[in-house]
Amino acid sequence: MDRASLRKQLRSNRQSLSAEQQLDAAKNVSVVVCGGEAFRQSQHIALYLASDGEIDPRYIAEAIWEQDKFCYLPVLDQEDHNKMYFQLYRPNTRLVNNRYGIAEPELDREKIVKAEALDLVLMPLTGFDEKGHRLGMGGGYYDRTFAFLKQATKPMLIGLAHECQRVEEIPVADWDVPMKGVATEKTFYG
């Protein structure tokens, strides 16, 4: 299957999950992530606000705040549509909707944190395979933002997903930046 058809199929898989399944998955993925070595060793952790049936990292955000670590969210540039930044996310951070209807901190160029300063990035995805290949929403934001990882070791990229987003093989593109692993409601693939 080509990337576009696969993306469509896998988005429909996650959109079909019930509210109860979503809640269970959100709790379980937080246990999988927060019990792991990568999380324990990280101070500066990026995640996302769930949309379109994505597995919800909210309990991971709560654990980050409780443990006095720092949590960050992606913020899109309204002028340069190719750019994505990261800004601090606290319980009281004011959020606005981006052009895809996803809530994000209001862009403040003085508050942008360099992607290189993050320790761990928990990435949204539409599909993944056990080799760490990722299919996103098709905007290429994460691939562009983390293209520098071909020559760097930090941050560590870990995808978050429902089991129903796992496939045998994601067709790779040459710009794809591989993930170190993927956490689901069931287990860690790494």
Cis omega before residue 155 (within 30°)? yes
Structural contact between residues 121 and 42, judged by C-beta atoms closer than 8 angstroms = no
Using rule CB under 6 A, residue 137 touches ligand ATP:
yes
Q: Of the candidates 30, 56, 74, 155, which one interacts with ligand FFO according to CB under 6 A?
A: 74
CA 130 to each of CA 64, 124, 170: distance values in angstroms, whole numbers, following the listed order: 26, 16, 9
Q: Of the candidates 51, 147, 180, 181, which one interacts with ligand ATP according to CB under 6 A?
A: 147
Tell whether 76 is in a known binding site. no
Q: What does the block give as tokens for 57?
A: 């990292």
Local structure of 140: helix, strand or coil: coil
Tell whether 136 is in a known binding site. yes
Considering only the stretches 33-41, 85-93, 137-145, 167-175, report the one whose residues sit in contact with ligand FFO under the rule CB under 6 A.
137-145
Using rule CB under 6 A, residue 175 touches ligand FFO:
no
Q: Identify the bridge partners of residue 96 per DSSP, sorted by sequence position.
A: 104
Q: Which amino acid is at 25?
A: A
Using rule CB under 6 A, residue 136 touches ligand FFO:
yes
Q: Which residues bind ligand FFO (CB under 6 A)?
A: 48-51, 54, 74, 76, 84, 100, 102, 124, 136-139, 141-142
